[in-house]
């Protein structure tokens, strides 16, 4: 019999060093004589990987034997960031490694920062999926993530002459965290035709045939939980030609080039993450990605279920599949297809299994962001699925007709098929109809989907199909890792790090809000974090900022609805006011640094214009000797997860200023407050629940309310539009050419002045400026400010993604945790 392998685990710095050296010399076949930081990173990662893998295998085996319901989180995006720091935290040997590395002559921070981000996502939705994986493992839920193994993650952003330039992000050079499973493959079909025939029993059978086959290869990555042995799996699919390297028939007949071309076409499917770009919508390759990933994942899930030899009606008791937005909606017709075409179930039985299996999370109410695919494209790429979608729609519309016979015009409104030219498949409707629960991601957002985009469906299915799960963030990465000193301070008062597993325990630090020593320590930490960001800003942007100034930060994807333009117009207004002051008055002004960061989708011109304006304004203001440290403007290039870990702990105030009703939740708002920063924000998304938790006195809210937005937009078009006079001055300044050729910014200015100011920048401008003044005043009273921040941190327990995952488990998935055995 085989002996069970037991990794010789390091427990001392010495043993750790041995493990590192072993990996450098044998796994990497490198000499120790030129061991640089990259090699030290590799050795360290591999040493920790060894320890993860043992628990990973154990967890998978336990989950297989336990035979209980599992969660499958289908997301085209997982914005994981770096893995080593997280692995060290969860394995619990970071201090040992720190000592060992130091004996080898390295600083931990330098080694950790050698790792490239796994940037397989655009922004909030992708990072949410990553936080969820962390919480699922930490809470011992048997859960898998499924996504694509993009060769290129989200592009890297460079700023050249003030303009964004996109650079490809090839991240797979050295990735110790993934394990290729060349034996786990799925053949996925595209194109072809559907043949119908009667079988012996007289039953109609459909066969999808003559298609083109692409093979999906599984790559797995371990997802360790914090303070538990549970290590879940993230499975990424990579595409390759179905015949392997070459089609030998083609190769032998001299069509060498054709055979290589086939191979490249197949590999293109998983080549690149799509940026969230309206110009890229509707591209065939994106639809191919979606189906490729859904088909491979479902095949894998079904294969696992079939091993249990259970009856099909048990499928929803074994499997919960969560759809992260509409991107995986094709999983619905795909499961229906598997059940009726391949497993021979009747339509109704299959459909009830499908509906019980899926849950759908919506992340937007913006109509232009709702996914639609043209019927001809689906017909061409997935002919059988189109038939099934039509049958789903027919059944659904018949149901609606029976139950609402008097509301004939509702039928066209709720139809999955939009009767446009060409016809379009409305993916959100298909996702909703094929799921048993639909959730929004913050209270306001969940209310809004019921009264706007899904209004008719509330009538059809009743309100219980709809629910809210307010987003959350993992305190492991967003407090402990990003802000180790604050984490340590909190632990010193609470007596342990238990609060990292139960964030509601944070409320106990409110008792220290008047404790002199605690306050001093808290303030020192904030200052050190600001100094760290200042050093970073000098190093990479070449801009010197004073850490004593008020740090005002807005970092997120650049989008008109998020209103970075409101922020930069506010900065220009501030500059004009400073310039108009006497030197004596200027001396009383609160110095401020306005930080911006975020990527614009490559084809989103207005967003790119906003970036350009920020950089032009930054150039002018930062060079103004008269203004000096009173105002600095910084655009932080290439905002990503690992940069967020430096930026977020350094804020005094952060901006979450979307037009009310447009930001589904926001999650960085939670991260900033948890790290001792305050928020200026609109009554939108999770800002509202943050206010409920921290108290109105501890947040700076401004602007029009969501219920007034429609009327205001109407007035802009049919009343006369009156531009805010302060904003008028800002526009006059831009037009004067102060920030370079004004023509470059005319589209941005005109979107407000001429084209109806859809995002209400002018309506909210005064309220925004007034609130910024309040902030300047409040910041002058440093003691009162500190009290606000400490109080806020202590009240943020609700926003842990652990709470969020428990709500999904209870209300949507009906799954239980699987506790690992005590260490043997
Ligand atoms: C769609 C079609 C083609 C190509 C790309 C896309 C695409 C990609 C990404 C569409 C949307 C996204 C990402 C959306 C997103 O990040 N939404 C955010 O989700 C967060 C988590 O729930 C919320 O906090 C934010 O409010 C929401 O904007």
- Domain range summary for the chain, segments of one domain joined by +: 1-66+83-116, 67-82+117-470, 475-799
Q: Is 316 touching ligand 1 by the criterion CB < 6 Å?
A: no
Q: Residue 278 — pLDDT band, cuts 50, 70, 90?
A: confident
Q: Is 735 touching ligand 1 by the criterion CB < 6 Å?
A: no
Distance 121 CA to ligand 1 centre (A): 9
Q: Residue 1 — pLDDT band, cuts 50, 70, 90?
A: low
Question: What pLDDT is stored for residue 517 in this prediction?
Answer: 98
Angle at 321 between CA 317 and CA 323, to 5 degrees: 155
What are the structure tokens assigned to 172, written together?
Answer: 């797979």
The CATH class for the domain spanning 67-82+117-470 reads: alpha beta
- Which atom of ligand 1 lies closest to the CA of 686? 24
Of 282 and 448, more confident: 448
CB contact set of 301 (below 8 Å; sequence gap of 6+): 72, 319, 321
Tell me which residue of 13, 201, 42 sits closest to 111, measured CA to CA.
Answer: 42
Distance 329 CA to ligand 1 centre (A): 15
Would you say the CATH fold of 475-799 matches that of 67-82+117-470? yes
Distance 560 CA to ligand 1 centre (A): 14
Q: Is 290 touching ligand 1 by the criterion CB < 6 Å?
A: no
Q: Is 128 touching ligand 1 by the criterion CB < 6 Å?
A: yes
| Three-state helix/strand/coil letters over 689-728 | HHHHHHCHHHCEECCCCHHHHHHHHHHHHHCCCCCCHHHH
CA pseudo-torsion sign 334, 339, 342, 345: negative
* Burial bucket for residue 198 (CB in 10 Å: 0-12, 13-18, 19+): exposed
Q: Is 664 touching ligand 1 by the criterion CB < 6 Å?
A: yes
214: β partners: 188, 241
Half-sphere exposure of 783 (CA within 13 A, CB side): 3
Q: Are 290 and 269 within 8 A, CB to CB?
A: no
pLDDT digits (tens, 9 = 90+) for 191-242: 999 999 999 998 899 999 999 999 999 999 999 999 999 999 999 999 999 9
Choose the residue to mutate in 123, 155, 808 for probing ligand 1, maximizing ligand atoms within 8 Å of C-beta.
123
Per residue in 796-808, is it b (16+ CB within 10 Å) or e — as a string? bbbbbbbbbbbbb
Q: Are 412 and 419 within 8 A, CB to CB?
A: yes
pLDDT digits (tens, 9 = 90+) for 576-590: 999 999 999 999 999
Distance 363 CA to ligand 1 centre (A): 6
Query: Going by CA atoms, what residue is nearest to atom 4 of ligand 1?
Result: 276
Choose the residue to mutate in 79, 120, 276 for probing ligand 1, maximizing ligand atoms within 8 Å of C-beta.
276
pLDDT digits (tens, 9 = 90+) for 136-179: 999 999 999 999 999 999 999 999 999 999 999 999 999 999 99
Mean pLDDT of 568-580: 98
Q: Is 122 touching ligand 1 by the criterion CB < 6 Å?
A: yes
pLDDT digits (tens, 9 = 90+) for 417-439: 999 999 999 999 999 999 999 99
Question: What pLDDT is stored for residue 719 in this prediction?
Answer: 84
Choose the residue to mutate in 73, 74, 124 for probing ligand 1, maximizing ligand atoms within 8 Å of C-beta.
124
CB contact set of 790 (below 8 Å; sequence gap of 6+): 509, 510, 512, 513, 518, 519, 522, 676
pLDDT digits (tens, 9 = 90+) for 364-391: 999 999 999 999 999 999 999 999 999 9
Distance 607 CA to ligand 1 centre (A): 16
Residue 234, number of CB atoms within 10 A of its CB: 26
Q: CA dihedral in degrees (634, 670, 685, 73; nearest 10)?
A: 110
| Three-state helix/strand/coil letters over 64-133 | HHHCCCEEEEECCCEEEECCHHHHHHHHCCHHHHHHHHHHCCCCHHHHHCCCCCEEECCCHHHHHHHHHH
Q: Residue 254 — pLDDT band, cuts 50, 70, 90?
A: confident
Question: What pLDDT is stored for residue 251 in this prediction?
Answer: 65
Question: What pLDDT is stored for residue 246 in this prediction?
Answer: 57
Phi and psi torsions of 235, nearest 5°: -105, 120
Query: Going by CA atoms, what residue is nearest to atom 14 of ligand 1?
Result: 125
Query: Going by CA atoms, what residue is nearest to atom 1 of ligand 1?
Result: 276
Angle at 457 between CA 454 and CA 460, to 5 degrees: 165
In the predicted structure, residue 3 carries a pLDDT above the cut 70: no
- DSSP 3-state assignment of 142? coil
Tell me which residue of 799, 731, 256 sits closest to 475, measured CA to CA.
Answer: 799
Q: Is 276 touching ligand 1 by the criterion CB < 6 Å?
A: yes
Q: Residue 247 — pLDDT band, cuts 50, 70, 90?
A: low
Distance 345 CA to ligand 1 centre (A): 35
Which is the CATH superfamily of the domain at 475-799? Glycogen Phosphorylase B; (3.40.50.2000)
What are the structure tokens assigned to 702, written together?
Answer: 């401004």
Q: Residue 248 — pLDDT band, cuts 50, 70, 90?
A: low
Question: What pLDDT is stored for residue 703 in this prediction?
Answer: 98
Per residue in 530-567, is it b (16+ CB within 10 Å) or e — as a string? beebbeebeeebebebbbebbbbbbbbbbbbbbbbbbb
User: What is the DSSP secondary-structure string of 14-61?
Assistant: HHHHHHHHHIIIIIS---GGG--HHHHHHHHHHHHHHHHHHHHHHHHH
CB contact set of 322 (below 8 Å; sequence gap of 6+): 71, 72, 73, 74, 358, 359, 360, 361, 808, 812, 813
Tell me which residue of 172, 154, 179, 190 sits closest to 296, measured CA to CA.
Answer: 190
**Which residues are tagged catalytic?**
363, 556-557, 562, 667, 671
Q: Residue 8 — pLDDT band, cuts 50, 70, 90?
A: low
Distance 450 CA to ligand 1 centre (A): 19
């Amino acid at each position: 019999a085989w002996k069970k392998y037991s990794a010789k685990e390091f427990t001392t710095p010495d043993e750790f060093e041995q493990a590192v050296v072993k990996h450098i010399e044998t796994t990497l076949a490198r000499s120790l004589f030129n061991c640089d930081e990259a090699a030290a990173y590799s050795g360290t990662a591999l040493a920790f990987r060894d320890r993860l893998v043992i628990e990973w295998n154990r967890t998978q085996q336990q989950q297989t034997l336990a035979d209980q319901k599992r969660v499958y989180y289908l997301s085209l995006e997982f914005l994981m960031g770096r893995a080593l720091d997280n692995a060290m935290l969860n394995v619990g040997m970071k201090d040992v490694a720190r000592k060992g590395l130091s004996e080898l002559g390295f600083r931990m921070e330098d080694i950790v920062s050698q790792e490239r981000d796994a940037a397989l996502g655009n922004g909030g939705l992708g990072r949410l999926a990553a936080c969820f994986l962390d919480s699922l493992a930490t809470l011992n839920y048997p859960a898998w993530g499924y996504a694509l193994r993009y060769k290129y993650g989200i592009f890297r952003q460079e700023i050249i002459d003030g303009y964004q330039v996109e650079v490809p992000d090839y991240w797979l050079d050295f990735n110790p965290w993934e394990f290729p499973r060349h034996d786990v493959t799925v053949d996925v079909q595209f194109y072809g035709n559907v043949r119908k025939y009667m079988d012996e029993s007289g039953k109609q059978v459909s066969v999808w045939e003559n298609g083109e086959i692409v093979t999906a290869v599984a790559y797995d990555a371990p997802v360790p939980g914090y303070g538990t042995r549970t290590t879940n799996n993230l499975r990424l699919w990579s595409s390759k030609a179905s015949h392997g390297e070459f089609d030998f028939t083609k190769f032998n007949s001299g069509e060498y080039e054709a055979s290589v071309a086939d191979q490249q076409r197949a590999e293109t499917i998983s080549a690149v993450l799509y940026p969230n770009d309206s110009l890229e919508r509707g591209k065939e390759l994106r639809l191919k990605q979606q189906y490729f990933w859904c088909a491979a994942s479902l095949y894998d899930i079904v294969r696992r279920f079939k091993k249990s030899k259970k009856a099909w009606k048990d499928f929803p008791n074994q499997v919960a599949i969560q759809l992260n937005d509409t991107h995986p909606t094709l999983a619905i017709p795909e499961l229906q297809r598997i059940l009726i075409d391949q497993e021979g179930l009747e339509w109704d039985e299959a459909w009830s299994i499908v509906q019980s299996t899926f849950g759908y999370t919506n992340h937007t109410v913006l109509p232009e962001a709702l996914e639609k695919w043209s019927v001809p494209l689906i017909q061409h790429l997935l002919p059988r699925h189109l038939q099934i979608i039509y049958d789903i729609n027919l059944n659904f519309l018949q149901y609606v007709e029976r139950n609402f016979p008097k509301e004939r015009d509702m039928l066209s409104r709720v139809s999955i098929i939009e009767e446009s030219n060409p016809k379009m498949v409305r993916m959100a409707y298909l996702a909703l109809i094929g799921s048993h629960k639909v959730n929004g991601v913050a209270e306001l957002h969940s209310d809004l989907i019921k009264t706007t985009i899904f209004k008719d469906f509330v009538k059809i299915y009743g309100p219980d199909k709809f629910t809210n799960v307010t987003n959350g963030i993992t305190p492991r990465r967003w407090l402990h890792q990003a802000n180790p000193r604050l984490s340590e301070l909190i632990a010193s008062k609470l007596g342990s790090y238990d609060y990292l597993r139960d964030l509601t325990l944070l409320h106990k630090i409110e008792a220290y809000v008047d404790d002199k020593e605690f306050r001093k320590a808290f303030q020192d930490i904030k200052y050190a974090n600001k100094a760290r960001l200042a050093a970073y800003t000098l190093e990479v942007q070449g801009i010197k900022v004073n850490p004593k100034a008020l740090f005002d930060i807005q970092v997120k994807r650049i989008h008109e609805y998020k209103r970075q333009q409101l922020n930069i117009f506010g900065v220009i207004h501030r500059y004009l006011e400073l310039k108009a002051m006497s030197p004596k008055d200027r001396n009383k002004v609160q110095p401020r640094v306005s930080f911006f960061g975020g990527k614009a989708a490559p084809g989103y011109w207005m967003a790119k214009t906003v970036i350009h304006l920020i950089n032009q304004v930054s150039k002018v203001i930062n060079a103004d000797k008269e203004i000096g440290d009173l105002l600095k403007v910084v655009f932080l290039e290439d905002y990503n997860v690992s940069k967020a870990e430096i930026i977020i702990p350094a804020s005094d105030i952060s901006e979450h200023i979307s037009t009310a009703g447009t930001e589904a939740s926001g999650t960085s708002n939670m991260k900033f407050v948890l790290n001792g920063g305050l928020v200026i924000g609109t009554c939108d998304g999770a800002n509202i629940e943050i206010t409920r938790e921290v108290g109105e006195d501890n947040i700076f809210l401004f602007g029009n309310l969501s219920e007034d937005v429609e009327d205001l937009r109407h007035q802009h078009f049919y009343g006369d539009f009156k531009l805010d006079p302060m904003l008028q001055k800002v526009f006059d300044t831009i037009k004067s050419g102060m920030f370079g050729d004004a023509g470059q910014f005319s589209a941005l200015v005109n979107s407000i002045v001429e084209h109806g100011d859809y995002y209400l920048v002018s309506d909210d401008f005064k309220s925004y400026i007034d609130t910024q003044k309040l902030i300047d005043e409040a910041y002058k009273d440093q003691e009162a400010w500190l009290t606000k921040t400490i109080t806020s941190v202590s009240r943020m327990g609700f926003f842990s993604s652990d709470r969020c995952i428990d709500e999904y488990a209870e209300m949507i998935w009906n799954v239980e945790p699987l506790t690992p055995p005590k260490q043997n």
